[in-house]
Structure 1
Amino acid sequence: MREDFLHFLWQFKKFDLARLQTTKGEKLTIVSSGLYLQKAGPDFFNAQIIIGTQKWAGNVEIHCRSSDWYLHSHETNPNYDNVILHVVWEHDTEVFRKDNTELAVLELSNYVPKKMLENYQSLMLDKTWLFCEKQIASVDGFVLDNWKERLFFERLEKKSLLIWKTFSETLNDWEALLFCLLAKNFGLNSNGETFLKIALSIPFQKIRKESFEVRNLEALFYGRAGLLDNENEDVYFLDLKERWDYLRHKHLLKKIYLDPVQFFRLRPSNFPTIRLSQLANLYHSRPGLFSEVIESKSLAEFYKLFNVSASDYWSDHYQFDRQSRKKEKKLTNVFIDLLLINTVVPLKFAHAAYLGNDISEEIVQLLREISAEKNIIIDKFQDFGITVNNAYETQALLQLKNEYCNKKRCLECGIGMELMKS
């Protein structure tokens, strides 16, 4: 038996309320279950109950066994002095408060319907990847859609945490914030953190000043990334190196220590050389990028906005002084989709919240225009009968798997709760 199941039973009163008695045989009536705190201290705050003819107001603590009260040392903790009822699955010992008064106990196992217990055991015990993998496809579509919406905005709120942290680091400059977030996502998983540190290390006003010349931006990015530290006879490389030496002195850029950018196990199109050039060309061609991002709404507008390529040199190179077959290194729609999902949408959401505006419908509509992401998690949900149509739904399912399924929070999940009621 798990305590989260007992919390679920108490919070939603999923037991026989008509014949409740304490373990001493006194009639028990629940007026209010209290507030589910989910933090240190008693489990439910400000509950109201009637024991016999006496009405009580206070807190409720829940355990699998009565003896857990002593196992957790609650008898010496003043936070538990105002507990008025101890709710347990199994009553194995009498419990006393710090002042030696006996605590009223409700033994829930006597009042939970057999079907409810079977539903819980079916949900929690039969699993290869999801606890509910055999039942999830049977959940009512209306319930599932409502829960997906909640999950989507939960994930958006989580992504906003990085935004607000970076916002303070950029001295509340929205243009600088966008630049830093884009840099992180241009670096993907392998180089994202390094790209973010590079972006944070160059004051954005310097980016504005140098954006008229794309090679100046490239020199700043490659120089900061340590990609110009080697000796090389390539004319393009030598030009960038000379520009970097000039620009770092001009802008008084202090030396920083970064992890080396990674090439290993990356597709050539994701090499840091290519992504940094694309980022430089983006800011060269779109000096007012933040305003355009905020004003754009449709997927077509964003594809046009991010329609940039790496510089001509990279059309037949992936690394300095190593020629390859000629191919334009343009941002693909798939990569732009990733930028929208991980940078643009969270930023637009945070900016609207900052101004006190609600653009939820606009954001959902945009994500519904973007193709569904493809990864092992989404493939698994589809194997279990969940239809996935767009990025709005994939983002919701990623939140479901990572924050609920993996953490066994089935009884806080809209799907799990629906299955418990069935």
Structure 2
Amino acid sequence: MDMRSMASLYGDALSAAEKEEPDTVREHASSLRSGLPDERTLQLLLLEGRFGTSFTDDLGRNILILDFGDWNKSAGPDFLNARIQIDGVPQIGDIEVDPAPEDWERHGHGSNPAFNGVILHLACMPSRREWFTRNARHERIPLVVIPPSAPALAEKPPEKAPERYCRHTSALGSMAPELLETLLQAAAAYRFRNKHRRHAERARYAGEEQALFESLAETLGYHANKTAMRHLALRAPLHAIRKCPEALLFGAAGFLIPVLPDSCTPEAVAHHKKLWTEWWPLREQFELAPDRTFPWTLSGNRPANHPQRRVGALAAIAGDFDTFKRLCRPGYGDGLANYLSSLAHPYWSTHVTLPSAPSPRPMALMGRDRIQALAVNHLLPAEGGERAWKHYLSLRAGQAGTKVLAVHQSLLGRRPDAKAFLAKEWHHQALLQIHEDLCSRHSCALCTLIGRLEKK
């Protein structure tokens, strides 16, 4: 079967399982609050179009978001000067996003005149009582509750690590290798197709260049800082930082302090001074209030993967983005990998943070594992189609991450041939997808899927 058929087979089985198990869906909706991302991540997902742009408000009117406006950098509503339509009538004003409708009053927005310009209140779960949103002038504000079935909520990966053996281990352990291979490939195809759709939707809204820039930033962040890096790429978009990318990215990230410690080398002081000089006149456009910043994970990373160095790598590529974009075109071959693996920077090739001492030997700004992660998670799904799918299936796996290994042990650990299902990158993607869908939500989805596979 081709990629689309495999993806549809998997998706149809999930849908069938949901219909057979409505209690599971209700349980997922009722536990939504505890599983919601924080508010900054909700804003990020909204801006990326992950919740969609067409809704129905609490009075049954059709709401269409035409433009999210400016993502607020300081106090006040989350998005300023947005453009929407209410039953086809255009309006311009602000948008506020909250986990629950009641958060509007919990945060004091109803008595704050700064929120009188809000024309749309978005919440991610319904109120537990009769509710309407009002401003300080006691005017009703349209309220939209994003349905739990919205992809960004429904597809949220489980936070907890998998159990050593999940309830599907027995079925998967006794499955014929050929059938298991087909099951995994269907899950990988489903994941591939979903990523393609997300990229296409983001590119339609933000443009292909910006979507690619955000994908690059997320990849450079590794697991610990991928959300913070994506947030940075949205707060300091490519078109706005072209002239001095490093200074603006470091300033927007909150990594530029006025003065470095006295213990820093003259090289570090000189580089910091250059960045600060470029940043200072432009800081009002990019500097974020403390409660608008994304927290960086500074511990637990290898020194070479410190977020300051990751931002340095992003800046280096942003400074030559036309070359990078050209090499990302379909059929890019080894050109992209050679370009990224040989990337150098006069400071970040030998430093891990702004104040750090230089390393004795240069370090790669982007290693082969990150280059492959960029292709697997972004470039090939963005391209879509059978050519990209075949390339995707051919990629040998790099070192498996901690989560992939845990899921592999949980699902397939009792199989004598378990190692064979870690050999390709798509195996890793399939295991993650199955863990998200089958182990955490739909207890009968595996049976449904196996039954459909056996009929093929």
With normalisation by structure 2, the TM-score equals 0.55
SS at 1:317's partner residue? coil
CA–CA separation in structure 2 for the residues paired with 1:305 and 1:175: 18
The answer on whether the counterparts of 2:351 and 2:358 sit within 8 Å (CA) in structure 1 is yes
- Correspondence for 2:247 among 207, 211, 219: 219
**Structure 1 residues 418 and 367: alpha-carbon distance in aligned structure 2, compared to 1, 3 A threshold:** closer
CA–CA separation in structure 2 for the residues paired with 1:324 and 1:254: 28
Matched residue, 1:245: 280
Matched residue, 2:406: 376
SS at 2:214's partner residue? helix
- Correspondence for 1:270 among 278, 281, 305: 305
Aligned length in residues: 286
The answer on whether the counterparts of 1:309 and 1:329 sit within 8 Å (CA) in structure 2 is no
Matched residue, 2:362: 328
**Structure 1 residues 135 and 372: alpha-carbon distance in aligned structure 2, compared to 1, 3 A threshold:** farther
SS at 1:177's partner residue? helix
Matched residue, 2:233: 199
Gap runs ≥5 in structure 2: 1-12, 24-162, 263-268
1:227 Cα deviation after fit: 0.6
The answer on whether the counterparts of 1:303 and 1:336 sit within 8 Å (CA) in structure 2 is yes
Deviations 1:324-364 (A, max 9, x none): 53232311111212222222223222xxxxxxxxx234333
1:187 Cα deviation after fit: 1.6
1:384 Cα deviation after fit: 2.5
Computed over aligned residues only, the root mean square deviation of the Cα atoms, in angstroms, reads 3.5
Matched residue, 1:401: 435
CA–CA separation in structure 2 for the residues paired with 1:393 and 1:320: 38
Matched residue, 1:187: 221
Matched residue, 2:316: 281
Deviations 1:253-294 (A, max 9, x none): 464531243312211121111111111222333424334212
The answer on whether the counterparts of 2:220 and 2:226 sit within 8 Å (CA) in structure 1 is yes
SS at 1:323's partner residue? coil
CA–CA separation in structure 2 for the residues paired with 1:231 and 1:416: 62
Deviations 1:356-388 (A, max 9, x none): xxx234333234223255132234455322322
The answer on whether the counterparts of 2:225 and 2:296 sit within 8 Å (CA) in structure 1 is yes
Q: Percent identity?
A: 20
Matched residue, 1:365: 391
1:164 Cα deviation after fit: 4.9
Which amino acid is 1:136 matched to? L
**Structure 1 residues 134 and 395: alpha-carbon distance in aligned structure 2, compared to 1, 3 A threshold:** same
SS at 2:317's partner residue? helix
Which amino acid is 1:317 matched to? H
Runs of 4+ in 1 over 6 A off after TM superposition: 418-421
1:311 Cα deviation after fit: 2.0
Matched, 1:347 2:382: yes
Gap runs ≥5 in structure 1: 1-11, 13-34, 44-60, 64-126, 211-215, 350-358
Deviations 1:199-231 (A, max 9, x none): 112343234x42xxxxx2211111110111342
CA–CA separation in structure 2 for the residues paired with 1:191 and 1:37: 34
**Structure 1 residues 241 and 162: alpha-carbon distance in aligned structure 2, compared to 1, 3 A threshold:** farther
CA–CA separation in structure 1 for the residues paired with 2:286 and 2:406: 43
**Structure 1 residues 414 and 268: alpha-carbon distance in aligned structure 2, compared to 1, 3 A threshold:** farther
**Structure 1 residues 240 and 364: alpha-carbon distance in aligned structure 2, compared to 1, 3 A threshold:** same
CA–CA separation in structure 2 for the residues paired with 1:291 and 1:185: 18
CA–CA separation in structure 2 for the residues paired with 1:267 and 1:158: 31
Matched residue, 2:203: 167
Structure of higher RCO (CA pairs closer than 8 Å, 6+ residues apart): 2
With normalisation by structure 1, the TM-score equals 0.59
Matched residue, 2:193: 157
Which amino acid is 1:395 matched to? Q
Matched, 1:392 2:426: yes
Matched, 1:317 2:351: yes
1:147 Cα deviation after fit: 1.9
CA–CA separation in structure 2 for the residues paired with 1:336 and 1:37: 36
CA–CA separation in structure 2 for the residues paired with 1:254 and 1:419: 53
Which amino acid is 2:179 matched to? V
1:175 Cα deviation after fit: 0.8
The answer on whether the counterparts of 2:217 and 2:229 sit within 8 Å (CA) in structure 1 is yes
Matched residue, 2:61: none
